[in-house]
Structure 1
Amino acid sequence: MEFDFLKPIDKEFLELIKGFSSQQLGSKVVFHTSEDFPDLNKIKIAVIGVLENRGEVNLSSSVDLAHIRKELYGLFPGNWNVSIADLGDIAAGNTIEDTYFAVKKVVSTLLKKKIIPLVIGGTQDLTYPLYRAYDDLEQMVNLVSIDRKFDFGKESDSISSGSYLTKIVIDEPNNLFNYSNIGFQTYYNSQEEIDLIEKLFFDAYRLGDISNNISLAEPVFRDADLVSIDLTSVKSSDSGIINPFMPNGFNGKEICSLARYAGICDKVSLFGVFNHNNTKQESVLIAQIIWYFIEGFHYRSNEYPFGSKENYLKYIVPLDVDELIFYKSNKTDRWWIELPVISNTNNKLKKITLLPCSHEEYLAACNHEIPERWWKAQRKNIF
């Protein structure tokens, strides 16, 4: 059974949890213990630790998630109606590939059960087996990474936290429809990598642009399946990470806002936080990132792709050659743009009919400016 890969929560930690008040989050979570495994039929979010750090030489050789759990379960939840289970940890295998296999099996099973895995790494190369967990679902995958760099590597390189994206792009089956990077810092990325992002019609948003207007990220998350956070995207003064030292990056408030955007988006089915160094300082921020994701999940509106177009106002913008069709939600005032699906392309794309966008992009279209995200999605659809 896939869940045999999961180690139960340590008894000493469970004793610590018993000392928490009934109002704290730890008293409202179901734990995988040596005697009992949670009833997954009653669970919406499953916390999983992955004790694998071999994908990054700068991180400590072992992963200890006790500090993160202590900080997380010591927080007070909002007025949530969310059933949460902590399924324990996946230990590092004899090889890193063994760990990937276990992660893929566990996460794939949870996805099939419509449970959102909330994965705490470990190194960010674990994003690769998370992506592969969608293989059996027969769908295209949109990956959003909050990261200071794109994590491309040479095709011949072994997979690592700095090269996993190359493996995602080139490996079969190729289920990646779109990759979006939020918060890249230009000086950490070669011009060839930046050009490759454009060539593949991927999306990338600079740190400064998102920091100046964080709402730009909301439509990006709305179309995501998998969200992966590299904690080194946060500046060291806020994250507590000293190795590597990051003078620039998101601040604590911004990264928590991004996590809440990810949680509130109906399509996001998998969330992970990676590349931390087991320190107590980092644990406080990671716990709050996870808290905000769960907070966002509680406020999901179940709009597209689960809602009906009857709940939207339709706007038609005529252009010189064609027309663009926009939809505005009556419930949340969020915007989408219609993406025509080419019938002779991959059948997996037929589910993608509306593309999230912003009100500003609708106004730009009224001035005959075609939204860049619509154009890129069309190019991927054609080719």
Structure 2
Amino acid sequence: MNFNFLTPVPDTVLAHNQLLSPLSLGQKIKIHSEQYGLPDLDDVKIVILGVLENRNDVNYIGEDFNLNEIRKSFYTLYPGSWSSSIADIGDIQKGDTVEDTYFALKETLTILIENKIIPVIIGGSQDLSYVNYRAYDSLTPMVNIVNVDKSFDLGDSSKPIKNTSFVGKIILDEPYNLFNYAIIGYQTYFNSQEEIDLMERLYFEPYRLGEISNDLTLVEPVMRDANIVTVDLGVLKASEVSQKQKVSPNGLDGKEICTVARYAGISNKVSSFGIYEYKPSQDDDITSMLISQMIWYFIEGVNCRVKDDDFSNDDNHQKFITLAESHELIFYKSTKTGRWWIEIPFLANVNNKLKKHTLLPCTHQDYLDACNDKIPERWYKAYQKNSV
């Protein structure tokens, strides 16, 4: 694997790491250093990757930043009972232009994902999620994205890309590889009614902050179907982060965002995870520690993955058939984990995006609703999207 664009973890961080307990994460993971170079990644399952690019932030005023405090915080944590090998492969620096950074990131991510290594990306502005999506162009025909964010980030896609418009670019730029876009924790007053209506017309999946806070388990089936999970730190409530990071008095709290990160890790399908909009400040300890704990919980989730979505063997699942609003709905329940799926039928007479029967993650409540003649909303949206 050839990673030409990576720079090593700074020596100041490595010097701090030498003082830590031999049982800490910093002493247990492989680290890209100036002295020893890039570590061997043959047996590595998860890598930490910094991207020091923020020039397409709408509020960019020329400031640079680094991820030193996040690394210091992360290295001080202790690993769980994990079998996956982890590496910190350093940073992608700002290129001469933003497009240079995009190119370097896309090339790096494509290599990692192709080799079944899960990148945990720490940024920079969230427009980097567009590059993350483009890294899948040659890898998979249809991509599902989950964005944990207060805003949809649809923006004006006719203008150059910004961190507030990257989703619009994902939807409208060729090649069209996006199948589903879900947003977790959006706050209505940060989004225009036109954008909310557009999300509905496109049969995407918006989940309001209140909805998620009332029942965090709603996140699990959405994450189970995602390839890319991207987190905007602006989704956090102001009391959870340092002064410069504060965006809104309302948002997810530390416990909720760590649960969301763990759900992302548990998903067998998630192959890249990004945390963006980091803005370091002098009182930064709390933000860097929260980001570190989010990464910890994501890694914990990856180590708890269970392969329970092989439905070729009838012993692996139970099958349930019910009728709701004249539709025959077929549900499957894993005998290993108790997780549920619902079948989206193949429509032979339309331009079917999936070309086959496909199984959509759902909840036990969706099955109970179907038994009471109510079609699950996730099924309806996927069915409609598949029919377009």
Residue deviations 1:93-125 (CA, integer Å, cap 9, x gap): 111111111111000110000000100001111
Q: Which residue of 1 aligns with 2:170?
A: 168
| SS of the residue 1:44 aligns to | strand
Task: Give, in whole Å, the separation in 1 of the partners of 2:353 and 2:201.
Answer: 22
Contact 1:241 / 1:282 at 8 angstroms: preserved in 2? Answer: no
| Partner SS for 2:375 | coil
Describe the shift of the 1:69–1:228 C-alpha distance in structure 2 as closer, same or farther (beyond 3 A): same
Percent of paired sites with the same residue = 52
Q: 289-298 or 244-253, which moves further after superposition?
A: 244-253
Q: CA deviation at 1:379?
A: 1.3
1:277-296 superposed matches below 5 A:
277-278=279-280, 279-296=284-301
Residue 154 of structure 1: how far off its partner (Å): 1.3
Contact between 2:318 and 2:333, CA under 8 Å: does it hold in 1?
yes
* Alpha carbons of structure 1 residues 350 and 17: separation in structure 2 relative to 1, 3 Å: farther
Give the CA deviation at 1:62: 1.3
Could you tell me the TM-score, scaled by structure 1's length?
0.96
1:249 aligns with 2:254: no
Matched, 1:78 2:113: no
Change beyond 3 A, Cα 1:339–1:21: same
Residues of 1 paired with 2:23 and 2:312: CA distance?
34
Aligned residue type for 1:331: K
Q: For the Cα contact (< 8 Å) 2:345–2:356, is it kept in 1?
A: no
CA distance in 2, matches of 1:88, 1:233: 26
Cα 1:144–1:14 shift into 2, 3 Å: same
Summarize the alignment of residues 1-383 of structure 1 with structure 2, pairs less than 5 Å apart: 2-34=2-34, 35-58=36-59, 61-242=63-244, 244-278=246-280, 279-304=284-309, 308=313, 310-319=315-324, 321-343=326-348, 349-350=354-355, 353-383=358-388
Deviations 1:149-172 (A, max 9, x none): 100111222111111011000000
Say whether the 8 Å CA contact 2:110–2:135 is kept in structure 1: yes
Question: Residues 323, 73 of structure 1: CA spacing in aligned structure 2 closer, same or farther, 3 A cutoff?
Answer: same
Aligned counterparts of 1:162 and 1:199: Cα–Cα separation in 2: 20
Change (3 A) 1:44 1:350: farther
1:343 Cα deviation (Å)?
4.8
- Relative to structure 1, the CA distance from residue 102 to residue 351 in structure 2 (aligned partners, 3 Å threshold; closer, same or farther) is farther
Structure 1 residues 353-362 or 18-27, which shifts more? 18-27
Structure 1 residues 345 and 6: CA distance shift in structure 2, 3 A: farther
Q: Deviations over 1:329-376 (max 9, x none)?
A: 111111100112335767872477110000111000001111111111
Question: Can you list the C-alpha shifts for 1:165-204, whole angstroms capped at 9, x where unaligned?
Answer: 1100000001000000000000000000000000111000
Aligned equivalents of 2:324, 2:262: Cα separation in 1: 36
- Alpha carbons of structure 1 residues 305 and 107: separation in structure 2 relative to 1, 3 Å: farther
Number of matched residues? 383
Q: Would the aligned equivalents of 2:127 and 2:166 in 1 still touch at CA under 8 Å? A: yes
Displacement, 1:305?
5.9
Unaligned ranges ≥5, structure 2: none
